[in-house]
Amino acid sequence: MAFVIDGKEAAASVISAVTEASVSLEGKTGIKPGLAVVIVGEDPASHAYVNSKGKMAKQCGFNSIQHTLPEETTQEELQALVDTLNADPAVHGILVQLPLPKHFDSDAIIQSILPEKDVDGLNIANAGKIATGDLDTGLISCTPAGSMLLVKRVHGEDLSGLNAVVIGRSNLFGKPMGLLLLAANATVTMAHSRTKDLASVCRNADILVAAVGRAEMVKRDWVKPDATVIDVGINRVPAPEKGEGKTKLVGDVAFAEASEVAASITPVPGGVGPMTIAMLMANTVIAAHRACSLPVPKF
């Protein structure tokens, strides 16, 4: 049976380091890292995410600011708020919770966040730095950064000689994840829904990363014996065993059967998920250190 990579434990160690860095920064400069989260509308899942981010920011010793705007907020009003936060020196990180209501041009809002305050790592300036191999001066998108940290816990910093396959080519995850693996010297294959004989491509992977959004698509016979499997999928499926109308969360990998072949694997929930919010906090404390012209903590 595979070793189950504990994302909660890894995230707790990142949060502990972030808290230490935050306390140290305040001790040296009197400045607390400031994280501003903006949410528009009433989506319950988005509110749950925002609440958990706010709690974690306070736990890390940050100045946590939340702006809750009504559904009918206009593009211009939201843009004005982002502009105000960009100009506020006490705010080091800005996060606009996605998805925004349908009447917004989300990309225009996200790209207007200053790259140095873009703690979600979605600004094209930050994406471009990863693409050119500059991992030191930008902010790395949280889910790929967290996934990479889990990979390095198993394999160390240098992935030379290892084949990595990423299933999924989204700008949010697949592309930056492939580039981070490449920067660590892995030989990387980017696979997706149009890849011919996807299963046989996956069978070559020493590190297999699944991010396609299809429940339990990756089966046992897709997994190379002794591979490391990172499951980024979050899919809600019926769970009749829990009772009528009940559901459960599963990943993009058929966990039980893949665990019989892989050497190590992330569970869903409890794998990559906790790392995303931990890396958001890490990005905020990094941004605050840069704003104070201090050496940046490593995670």
- Written as one letter, the residue type at 240 is P
Note whether 183 and 159 are within 8 A (CB). no
| Catalytic-residue membership of 79 | no
Amino acid identity of residue 54, one-letter, is G
DSSP 73-113: --HHHHHHHHHHHHH-TT--EEEEPSSPPTTS-HHHHHHHS
What's the gap between Cα 298 and its chain centre? 17
Question: What tokens were used for 245?
Answer: 């109308």
Instruction: Based on the residue annotation, tell me whether 97 is a catalytic residue of this protein.
Output: yes
Four-CA torsion 240, 208, 110, 82, nearest 10 degrees: 80
Name the catalytic one among 120, 206, 231, 252: 120
**Does residue 104 sit in helix, strand or coil?**
coil
Give the full edge-to-edge strand order of the sheet including 34-40. 63-69, 34-40, 93-96
Residue 66, classed as helix, strand or coil, is: strand
Burial code (b: 16+ CB inside 10 Å, e: under 16) for 69-98 equals beeebeeeebeebbeebeeeeebbbbbbbb
Q: Is 75 part of the annotated catalytic residue set?
A: no
Spell out the residues 6+ positions from residue 3 whose beta carbon is closer than 8 angstroms to its own: 263, 264, 265
Residues with a known catalytic role: 53, 97, 120
